[in-house]
Amino acid sequence: MTLSSSTSCFRCHCHDLVQLCYITHLRSNFQPRVFLQHVTKLSFSQLGSSRSCSLPLRSRISSASVDPKGDCPDKFETLMHLIKRCSTMLDLKQVHAHILKGGFEHNIFLTGKVIEFCAVSEYGDMKYAVSALERIGNPDVFLWNTMIRGFSRDFETQKALEYYRRMQENGSMADSFTFSFLIKLCGQLGSNLLGKQMHCDALKRGFESHVFVRNTLIHMYGSFEEVETSRKLFDEIPSPDLVAWNCVIDCHVLCGFYREAVDIFLRMLNFGMEPDEATFVSVLSACSAMGALVTGRWVHSWIRHTRFRSILELNNSLIDMYAKCGAFREAYDTFNHMEKKNVVTWNTMILGLATNGHAKRALRLFCQMIEHKLVTPDHATFLGVLCACSHGGMVDEGRRYFDSMISEYHIQPTVKHYGCMVDLLGRAGLLEEAYRLARCMPMECNAIIWRTLLAACSLHGDVSLGKQVRSHILKFEPNHSSDCVLLANTYASAGQWNEMASIRSSMHNRGVQKPVPANSFIGMLM
């Protein structure tokens, strides 16, 4: 008996689960000792073995060791450990069955872990969480919060609010986590009215100044594009933590206040706060939008001296920043020095090359990705590829990639892919084909695509088709100044000056003005 148990321990450390199963099988005619079964159970849970090998054995183990009539002293600890090691709902349901069979039905800690898995895990199941909660007579605040968190994660607003109401009816007091989950949900859904109601509830219960709640409120109002409210909430914090700084910076970036976002970042540094990867991603997004290459380079130099320099998302942001600032060589250098790349990395680099006039290089990079099977292309990959074909005037290649997207990769084109194809055909002067494609799209063609085609008509001087395209745009935005200007330019390209003057006169009479000229600025980092 001792030798067999020692052998099991040895096999466990050697990761030889097949032999471990064999040893346990040889002992099947004997009453298994708790220690041997416990070691076997832990080795399966720690090593994540295949279901075909582990589950039948785990069933034997659990029924032996969780028997309420047995004398196993560590049933609770073992069950807690197994729940933590569950990777699927099937695993969880089996462990939960043994929890119920072992007499732990009303144990709030074990049931709480079951509910937490259902609510938080990507393989979770909120229906199962509901059934588990109903078995508990008096759930505590943690369990109510876990349910609210799970429904919020699934964007089930009414369910989240229902459990918030039930929580209060049950006599449990909402805490800072309750409001954080609900306020975050309101921000994600863009539910302004509900978000402000939750803000009022948090204020009445004294949680508005709590760090978690305050930070979530800052982010929520940012998602509502209420920058002033977000900034006011931030400024009221005596000593903002890093999350608060990140929230207010991200809020300004989301709302298009890029220069202000960089200013807040510099202020944060002056306060002696160390940025993290989330800070850098937000600031790089601001630099990308402004084309602030000098600031972006300075941020990159800072990143090089931090522990975040190898973080994938951060390097993807650097590639995006350099590409949008026109510094494709620096983008390419960053790309080549990355040890790990995901599909976002490849997509960002392909699109960056395409938009910087390096269409052929972008397509070579795509072919390299496909030939070496480095990552699987997705919707965004083909947007970059079609954009490269459009900017490079490669009509045949664009048609081929568009077809292969459906036939080889089983990716259904979105309105953006059709927009790229219309742009490709329009730039090449294939206006009738572009018009047919726009009309035959499986989804409704939007104003952006029609406007793209109108620009192509203006470029090639096709007045007749331009009028037809303009009639489609009128259904969406009848008084858009850019459309009037494009149509007037179409007449000008065809030498029809009287018609052009008529359009200009009509714009003046209706009070339609040309778009406001864009502004530029020079960024100076002090």
Distances (CA, A) of 354 to 207, 222, 415, 507: 49, 32, 19, 36
Distances (CA, A) of 311 to 291, 314, 332: 23, 5, 17
Q: Which pLDDT belongs to residue 459? A: 85
> Which residue do the tokens 């202020």 mark?
267
Q: Which pLDDT belongs to residue 498? A: 61
Q: Which pLDDT belongs to residue 457? A: 86
Numbers of helices and strands, H then E, in the chain: 30, 0
Q: Which pLDDT belongs to residue 359? A: 95
Q: Which of 25-34, 118-127, 187-196, 506-515 has the least mean pLDDT?
A: 25-34
CA angle in degrees (0–180, nearest 5) for 445-451-453: 85
> pLDDT confidence of 98, banded at 50, 70, 90?
confident
Q: Which of 174-188, 199-213, 318-332, 501-515 has the least mean pLDDT?
A: 501-515
Can you tell me the distance from the alpha carbon of 315 to that of 333, in angstroms, rounded to the nearest whole number?
11
Q: String of b and e for 403-433 (b: at least 16 CB within 10 Å)? A: eebeeeeebebeebbbbbbbbbbbbbebbeb
Query: Tokens standing for 3?
Result: 């030798």
Q: Which pLDDT belongs to residue 484? A: 62
Residue 342: helix, strand or coil by DSSP? coil
Helix ranges (H only) for 190-311 are: 192-204, 211-223, 227-235, 242-254, 258-270, 277-290, 293-304
Helix ranges (H only) for 48-156 are: 51-65, 75-85, 89-101, 108-120, 126-134, 141-153
Q: Which pLDDT belongs to residue 105? A: 77
What digits encode the pLDDT tens for the residues 132-176? Answer: 888 887 888 999 999 999 998 888 889 999 999 999 888 889 999
Angle between helices 343-355 and 379-392 (to 10 degrees): 20
> pLDDT confidence of 492, banded at 50, 70, 90?
low
Distances (CA, A) of 272 to 239, 240, 241, 245, 297: 12, 11, 11, 12, 21
Q: For the whole model, what pTM was predicted? A: 0.73
Average pLDDT over residues 325-334: 94
Distances (CA, A) of 42 to 23, 57, 77, 83, 189: 15, 12, 11, 11, 42
Cβ-Cβ contacts under 8 Å for 206 (sequence gap 6 or more): none
Identify the CA nearest to 450 among candidates 475, 430, 429: 475
Contact between 425 and 396 (Cβ < 8 Å): no
Q: String of b and e for 290-305 (b: at least 16 CB within 10 Å)? A: bbbbebbbebbeebee
What digits encode the pLDDT tens for the residues 260-315? Answer: 999 999 999 999 999 999 999 999 999 999 999 999 999 999 999 888 888 999 99
What digits encode the pLDDT tens for the residues 392-436? Answer: 999 999 999 999 999 999 999 999 999 999 999 999 999 999 999
Can you tell me the distance from the alpha carbon of 429 to that of 418, in angstroms, rounded to the nearest whole number?
17
> pLDDT confidence of 503, banded at 50, 70, 90?
low
Q: Which pLDDT belongs to residue 378? A: 95
What digits encode the pLDDT tens for the residues 462-490? Answer: 888 888 887 887 777 666 666 666 666 66
Identify the CA nearest to 24 among candidates 70, 67, 61: 61
What digits encode the pLDDT tens for the residues 335-366? Answer: 999 999 999 999 999 999 999 999 999 999 99
Tell me how long the chain is.
526
What digits encode the pLDDT tens for the residues 193-234? Answer: 999 999 999 999 999 988 999 999 999 999 999 999 999 999
